Amino acid sequence: MKADVQAIGSAQKTTKKRQGHSAQNRFNTKWGLIFLSPWIFGFFVFTLIPIIATLVFSFTNYSPVTPESTVFVGLKNYSDMIADKNVANSFMVTIKYAILALPLSLVFGLLLATIVNSKYLMGKNFFRTIYYMPAMIPVIAAGIIMAGIMNTNTGFINMGLESVGIPGPDWLNSTFWIYPALVLIGLWGLGNLMVTLLAGMQGVAKELYESAEIDGANGYQQYLYITLPLISPVIFYNLTMMIIGAFKYFDLAYVLKNGTGGPAGATNFYNLYLYKNAFQYNLMGFGSAMAWVLFIIVLALTIILFTTSGRWVFYSGGKQ
């Protein structure tokens, strides 16, 4: 906008200068597109066109094994989805996990970030490193290790429970205990959330705390009225990503139960079931329908969260 105004202004002075400007514009456009060319290519060929292609596939019975017998089947894949009990179950599994994991992760993540952000804490870097470590390793490795720790007969957790007289549950083979088990493993990898929240907290201007101190606000008040409101965009971003993450949940369910979705479908997460349909059963039409439903869910969640964020997220410098 500003450049336009300048261009008009200079056009009134001399036409020659105006030509210089548009030459500059053309030059910038050319070079800008050169710098962006890898991304633009990837965006069209591997993002935009595939999104549309997935939609088209979702109306067919496409299978990579028998591509020649592909026909349009209308909305059959979508009606199959509604009729498929496993799809309904995978929704329930995903939502059940999200309801359990989200509040716990957020509370513990905030608590942890607050503590390791404290200026009075000794050994800050030491604690940050230790709490971050489990988040850095492959989920596969984490799953393998935790499967050993949570083993019903030989694992350390049940050994600890039994030593105080509590019979240890069958963590990974019970349709009930598998969820606490997944949440516990998730909490082990809390470091990611801790680090993003910590970065948000460190972005809060020190002057705010200093002036609050002068006004007589205690630490608790400072946290409640300065820290929390100012990092609310970070909390909001993480909340959004965690909800979407539940619909992308895959690795841990795959490795703990070898992709079977067991026990009795309790780990048949939406994304895992999608993967199995598309790449194990070769039902790519059906998989595409599931992928588009996922896309719409993620889109809807994002839009809901962003349009309501004005009510509960604080942006410094007014609304954005």
Total residues in contact with other proteins, by rule CB under 8 A: 91
Token pair in block for residue 234: 């970070």
Minimum distance from CB of 196 to other proteins (Å)? 5
CA distances from 198 to 26, 118, 202, 232, 233 (A): 44, 10, 6, 12, 13
Place of tokens 């009795």: 264
| Cβ atoms of residues 203 and 227 within 8 Å | no
Question: Closer CB to other proteins, residue 100 or residue 149?
Answer: 149
| Cβ atoms of residues 287 and 295 within 8 Å | no
> Which position among 8, 71, 75, 141 is part of the footprint of other proteins (CB under 8 A)?
141
Residues 106-135 that bind other proteins (CB under 8 A): 112, 115, 120, 125, 127, 129-134
> Which position among 8, 49, 107, 264 is part of the footprint of other proteins (CB under 8 A)?
49
Residues 75-94 that bind other proteins (CB under 8 A): none
Beta bridge partners of 60: 72
User: Per CB under 8 A, which region of 69-77, 97-105, 210-218, 250-258 contacts other proteins?
Assistant: 250-258
Token pair in block for residue 51: 């999104």
End-to-end CA distance of the chain: give it in Å, rounded: 19
Check binding of 209 to other proteins (CB under 8 A): no
Question: Closer CB to other proteins, residue 136 or residue 224?
Answer: 136
In a 3-state reduction of DSSP, which class is residue 153?
Answer: coil
The CA distance from 133 to 182, in Å, is 18
| Cβ atoms of residues 139 and 131 within 8 Å | no
Minimum distance from CB of 110 to other proteins (Å)? 14
> Which position among 237, 239, 242, 265 is part of the footprint of other proteins (CB under 8 A)?
237
Residues 255-294 that bind other proteins (CB under 8 A): 255, 258, 271, 274-275, 278-279, 284, 287-288, 290-292, 294
> Which position among 109, 169, 186, 200 is part of the footprint of other proteins (CB under 8 A)?
200
Check binding of 104 to other proteins (CB under 8 A): no
Number of helices and strands in the chain (H, E): 16, 0
Check binding of 148 to other proteins (CB under 8 A): yes
Beta bridge partners of 72: 60
CA distances from 116 to 112, 113, 124, 230 (A): 6, 5, 6, 18
Minimum distance from CB of 144 to other proteins (Å)? 5
User: Per CB under 8 A, which region of 25-33, 79-87, 98-106, 204-212 contacts other proteins?
Assistant: 25-33
